[in-house]
Amino acid sequence: MEIYLDNAATTPILPAVREALLEVLDIYGNPSSLHGQGVKAQKVLEGARSEALKALGVRTGKVVFTGGGTEANNLAIFGAVSRHERRGRHLITTSVEHPSVLEAFRSLERHGWNVTYIAPAQDGSVLAADVLSAVTPETVLVSVMHVNNETGAMMPIEEIADGLKVFPKTLFHVDGIQGFGKVRVNLQSHAIHMYSMSGHKLGAPKGVGGLYVRQGLDIHPVLYGGGQEYGLRSGTENVPGIHAFATAVRLAAESMDEESRRVSGLRTLLRDALTQDPRCVVHNPSQVSPYILSVSYPGLKGEVLVHALEREGVYVSTGSACSTKGGRIAASHVMQAMELSDVEITGTLRLSLARWTTEEEVLEAVKIIRQQVDWLYDVGGMK
């Protein structure tokens, strides 16, 4: 039996998505072509766009399809900053963002921008007050993630959006890659200007994502060319990928609230079962996504635990899947920002659930984790 609990890294392609993908594979036209083949492709694209807007719960605004979440984040940040650079020289983000946000800001910093990095509380969540008190009339962009990919911490993005209303020149971007299709956000009534999405966290293939851009907001593109996607993302559109993305998004949106409650129950089950072992430390942010559980076994190496579990068919991850840097496994910047001890960081395991995760899988995983943890503490842990 294989139990895949690494859905925050990526997900398998859903059967319905596979079917949808196969259906449109032969719609080969270029959506920009004038003839019938182009029109067919164009229709697929527009269908997908309205599906994505619907899932976001908005009636206005644009969805710009991109080659994934990282590109959506880059487009939001560089696009907004270069378009509105005359408004000031100050930017705000948090120190626990995904590298696709953090590294974009570091690049801007090297180009002379002042960036404030808001540190999280010890539980990994960021306080709205901390973000808002850093805002000045010079602040061009604030970027805060919806759900942290390592800890599952849900950031108070609606509260931040509301607080930013008194700074009408400050734009607000939310990296929604771990939240989209899983936890609700009200973009319309809270002034969230941009929201990044990714398909492969929801059962679509890798390589497709999108950026929601609020009605009336003007940003610059990052990629220049034929002017596709409102001129914000040139390049012939990935029609089948986008259709698959929209299908996965529709499926997620249909039952988001019920599934969110159900998965929340699974997370609690998982957490309570694991913490029966006193060696297990839970990282429990005050507001947390039902889909991510971060725990630590001080004294063990997360990496070794991952391999021990994989041998038994359970797939999980250490802090974050993309943590290998310059030939060394870098300690998680998120955990460091939370000021966790080194042994706790090293022993961290991330379990991430999906809409299709079952209670049976969770219970089986708990059993296997317990066995492997016992074995490792016995032979490989600290003496």
Q: Write down the catalytic residue from 27, 322, 331, 363.
A: 322
Closest alpha carbon to 94 in 143, 165, 32: 143
* Residue 99 binding another protein, by CB under 8 A: no
Count residues near another protein (CB under 8 A): 17
Looking at the Cβ atoms of 161 and 308, the one nearer to another protein is: 308
Bridge-based pairing of strands 328-329 and 281-283 is unpaired
Pick the stretch among 29-37, 199-207, 215-223, 308-316 that binds another protein (CB under 8 A): 308-316
Task: Give min distance, CB of 214 to another protein, in A.
Answer: 41
Residue of the chain from 35, 86, 111, 311 that contacts another protein (CB under 8 A): 311
* Residue 304 binding another protein, by CB under 8 A: yes
Looking at the Cβ atoms of 117 and 377, the one nearer to another protein is: 377
Token representation of residue 95 = 């120190």
**DSSP 3-state of 349:** strand
Looking at the Cβ atoms of 110 and 311, the one nearer to another protein is: 311
Pick the stretch among 77-85, 122-130, 286-294, 320-328 that binds another protein (CB under 8 A): 320-328
* Residue 328 binding another protein, by CB under 8 A: yes
Query: Is there a contact between 170 and 163 (Cβ–Cβ < 8 Å)?
Result: no
Token representation of residue 217 = 């907001």
Residue of the chain from 36, 168, 278, 327 that contacts another protein (CB under 8 A): 327
Residue of the chain from 15, 111, 112, 379 that contacts another protein (CB under 8 A): 379
Looking at the Cβ atoms of 111 and 311, the one nearer to another protein is: 311
* Residue 340 binding another protein, by CB under 8 A: no
Task: Give min distance, CB of 352 to another protein, in A.
Answer: 20
Residue of the chain from 92, 154, 308, 362 that contacts another protein (CB under 8 A): 308
Residue of the chain from 257, 307, 341, 360 that contacts another protein (CB under 8 A): 307
Looking at the Cβ atoms of 303 and 364, the one nearer to another protein is: 303
Looking at the Cβ atoms of 261 and 307, the one nearer to another protein is: 307
Determine the Cα–Cα distance for residues 293 and 348; give it in Å rounded to an integer: 10
**Overall residue count recorded for the chain in this entry:** 383
Determine the Cα–Cα distance for residues 227 and 212; give it in Å rounded to an integer: 17
Q: Say whether 322 is catalytic.
A: yes
* Residue 2 binding another protein, by CB under 8 A: no
* Residue 329 binding another protein, by CB under 8 A: yes
Q: Output phi, psi for 325, to 5 deg.
A: -135, 125
**Burial classification of residue 155, based on how many CB atoms lie within 10 Å of its CB (0-12 exposed, 13-18 middle, 19 or more buried):** buried
**Burial classification of residue 121, based on how many CB atoms lie within 10 Å of its CB (0-12 exposed, 13-18 middle, 19 or more buried):** middle
Bridge-based pairing of strands 281-283 and 292-296 is antiparallel
Task: Give min distance, CB of 344 to another protein, in A.
Answer: 18
Determine the Cα–Cα distance for residues 257 and 279; give it in Å rounded to an integer: 33
* Residue 127 binding another protein, by CB under 8 A: no
Looking at the Cβ atoms of 69 and 381, the one nearer to another protein is: 381
Determine the Cα–Cα distance for residues 144 and 157; give it in Å rounded to an integer: 7
Pick the stretch among 25-33, 80-88, 287-295, 323-331 that binds another protein (CB under 8 A): 323-331
Q: Rounded to 5, what percent of the chain is helix, strand, coil?
A: 40, 15, 40
Residue of the chain from 103, 162, 303, 364 that contacts another protein (CB under 8 A): 303
* Residue 310 binding another protein, by CB under 8 A: yes
Looking at the Cβ atoms of 194 and 351, the one nearer to another protein is: 351
Residues whose CB falls within 8 Å of the CB of residue 216, separated by 6 or more in sequence, listed in order: none
Task: Give min distance, CB of 378 to another protein, in A.
Answer: 8
Helix axes 69-83, 99-110, angle to 10 degrees: 30
* Residue 130 binding another protein, by CB under 8 A: no
**Per-residue H/E/C for 61-122:** CEEEEECCHHHHHHHHHHHHHHHCHHHCCEEEEECCCCHHHHHHHHHHHHCCCEEEEECCCC
Residues annotated catalytic, as ranges: 322
Interface residues with another protein (CB under 8 A) are 301, 303-308, 310-311, 324, 327-329, 378-380, 383
